Each structure stands twice: as C-alpha cells, then as structure tokens.
Amino acid sequence: MAARRFEICVPASTANLGPGFDTMGLAVGLYLRVRGAILPPAAEWRLSAAGRHTDGIPLDPAENLICRVARQTAARAYVNLPPLDLHIINDIPLGSGLGSSAAAIVAGVSLVEAVTGMEFSQSEWLRHAMVFENYTDNLAPARYGGWITSCGRSNGTPILFHRTFPADIHLVIVTPDFALPTEQMRAVLPDAIPRAEAIFQMQHVMMFVGALEHRRYDLLREAMRDHLHQPYRAPFVPGLTDILELDCDGLWATALSGAGPSVLALASHNLDSIAQALQDCFARHGHRSEVYRPRIETTGRTIRYLPPEETLRPDTNLSGSGGRFSG
C-alpha cells in the first residue's frame, strides 16, 4: 500500500463552451478535495464533509458517488481496497453545470491510485471513469486540466486533444440558486436534428476553435451560438435568453455552462460589471446568484501524500449537510 494518508484535488469544469456539445471542456479553479486515511482491515468506512457546497453529498459509503466509484474501480482492477476514513471538502456547486459529478468520479478512480500507489494509463483511466459517465467533456479536463477537445474512435474509445486556451481571456461564471440534474437536461434534447442544424453546429464549433487560436475574439459572439442544446434548455434556466444576448464593454460572449444552470462569460476586462449584468438577468426572474471568477486550471487532478504533522481534517466549517448558495 502507498502512504496511509493522502489528499486528492480535482478541479471543476465547464463543458460545451457554446456549440461544442459533448466535444470540449475546460478545467476551472474550483475544487473538490478528498483527504483520506487507510483504516485497519476490520474497521468501517468513515465519511465527513466540509466546504461551501455539501448539501446533497451522502455520508453513507453505499450511496456516496466517490466511494461507489472507488469500490467498483478497485474490483474491476482486481485490487483490494481497504476501509477508508475520508474527509470531503467541496467548493464546486452541485447540479449546476460545473462538473460536480465528473469531479466525484475522478476522485473515486483516483482513490484507487492513491491507496495502491498505482497509476492507470490514460486509456485505463478513461475506461474506469466512463463506466459512470459516458462523456469525456467534463471528465477529461477534471483529470488532465486545461482545454480539451475529444472524440470517439470507431471502437468507442476516446481520443483527447489538449488545446491552449488564451491567457488574455478571463472567465466569469454565475450560478443561480437552483440546480438542474444533468439527466433531466439531457432528456429535453431531441433525438435527431435536421441537416441544416448539424451544418450550423459544425460551422460554429470550427469558428469557435479558430477564433480562440487566432485571437479573433470579435468572432466569439457568433461562434458561441448554438442550436443543439441551449434553445431546449433555456426554458429551464430563467434569464438565459437575455444572458445569451447580453452586450457589455469587455464581454466577448456568453454560454450555458454544461447542462446549466450556471452561465459562462468570456471577457477581456470590466469583469465586475459583466458579473453584475449576468446576476441582474437572473434577478429579474426572481433568482439570486453567486459569482465565480476562476482561473483556468491547467494541472488537473493531483494526489498529494500528507506529512505526519498535517491533520486529516483541517480547521474548516465541518458539516454533514453544509454549504448553501448566496449572493
């Protein structure tokens, strides 16, 4: 076994980026941390939670997604996973389009690596993770960091491609005070689209990538237009229609983050005013919201082994039900 105490840190992610439905995602600097210690073989698993967003995190190992992923991954990898004492510190809003489920899955697979000292290859890692979420747009950035585009080979295995996100583009993310389950938001999408819509989508994905890589930010507003998922999800996100048409100094474009309801703005300056304008759109529809201005996280998941003097449970606002929205 590896060192008996460790910390896994996994970033949040924003996916789709407008037209890139299920094809691209970006890791951002909000984090899920799982601090763990190996217990004696006869002990029971122990879980606790702290951080800004702990509502909805089960503390029963049989129901907790991180634990379920870890146990099933260990079984598929033919390794013995001992009982663990886990302290979860979560600052990623749940059910808000910022990859909270993907972060939990990444943490669960990583528990097996942290405890055993093994490191899965990329193909092994994705195979284990995609048992629980069959999309790489959130999983890949959370694990490997940065801006990642992906597609599937003919045999179904994914190809990941790292791209360089411009350093002079800043992110503003606004999360309203309600959650939307991803499964529900996928269910509202049509099973098929007309050829003209497919062509529109391909054109705009290519324009989006080109606009960022060639610093043609003036094209981003058009490039981030989408006909595949945002129109169908807009009725469930009051204020989104206004947000997608928002025009402010310094603002290049806006989009729904993942399946929502969080929204993402790409901007060059005037970030405070842009954030306020986004919040005002939600407020006009009766919803409070919270602003995040995260950096782009280029490292992805990390595993750190704790020195003897470092406590497993740092002095945080420990809670079994914990955080709430504010703003």
Between 254 and 183, where is the model more confident?
254
Residue 17 has pLDDT above 90, yes or no: yes
* Cis amide linkage into residue 235, ω under 30° from 0: no
Asked if 104 and 65 touch (Cβ cutoff 8 Å), the reply is: yes
| Residues sharing a CB contact under 8 Å with residue 248, sequence separation 6 or more, in sequence order | 270, 273, 274, 277
Q: If pLDDT is split at 50, 70 and 90, which confidence band does 144 have?
A: very high
Q: Across residues 79-101, what is the average pLDDT?
A: 96
> For 100-115, what is the mean pLDDT?
97
Give percent of the chain with pLDDT exceeding 90. 90
Q: How far are the Cα atoms of 133, 146, 152, 153, 190 from residue 232, in angstroms, in the given order?
A: 22, 28, 25, 28, 8
State the DSSP H helix or E strand holding residue 101, giving kind and residue range, or none if neither.
Answer: helix 100-116
Per DSSP bridges, beta strands 147-152 and 24-38 are: antiparallel
Domains and CATH numbers, the chain: 5-164+296-305 (3.30.230.10), 170-292 (3.30.70.890)
pLDDT of residue 315: 72
**Band of the pLDDT at 157, cuts 50, 70, 90?**
confident
Per-residue model confidence as pLDDT tens digits over 205-244: 999 999 999 999 999 999 999 999 999 999 999 999 999 9
Q: What is the dihedral of CA 101, 175, 89, 43, to 10 degrees?
A: -40
Q: Which tokens sit at 290? A: 């919270």
Mean pLDDT of 133-143: 95
| Overall average pLDDT of the 74-80 stretch | 95
